[in-house]
Amino acid sequence: MVGALMAAAMLAQQAEKLAPYYPTPEKIVEQMLRLGELKPGEKMFDLGSGDGRIVIMAARKFRADATGVEFDDDLAKQSADRIQSLGLEKRARIIHGDLMKQDYSSADLLTVYLLPGSNDKLRPLLEKQLKKGARVVAHDFEFADWRPETTKYIEDDGQGRSHTLYLYRR
């Protein structure tokens, strides 16, 4: 019985995962935040924040109020520990939880690197919550039915991989 409950819990956890962990190269992280016109003191959220690299750069280099939302236990802990070791707790934090169950109404900028189907699931929540003028930068995968204000193609990230960034404004 306990084994069946654990297996069901593991399946439920996998079902909630909206993208595999695939770290964004630092060069692309900076381009995402620049494309999103992130300014000091603005509130930004990175959905599916992985190891926290976007949150950390947003807080450190752009002096933003940065929040990551990460479902994976190990990644959430790793990024929270790194934020603490860098002394960024006043400007950066990680929410260990489901990105579909958060409040983004205060967001000035949101960054996402999710699969197309996950963007489709997320879109109604963002349409409901995001304030007028809020910006969304999507990495590699567009939001269906949204028209990007700007599309930026990066041919080579320094590791031979291309990327496309999409800027949306609500």
Domains of the chain, start order: 2-169 (3.40.50.150)
More confident residue, 12 or 47: 47
Q: What pLDDT score was predicted for residue 17?
A: 62
Q: Which of helix, strand or coil describes residue 47? A: strand
- Cα separation, 119 vs 142, whole angstroms: 8
pTM score: 0.88
Q: List, for residues 35-89, the tens digit of each pLDDT value.
A: 999 999 999 999 999 999 999 999 999 999 999 999 999 999 999 999 999 999 9
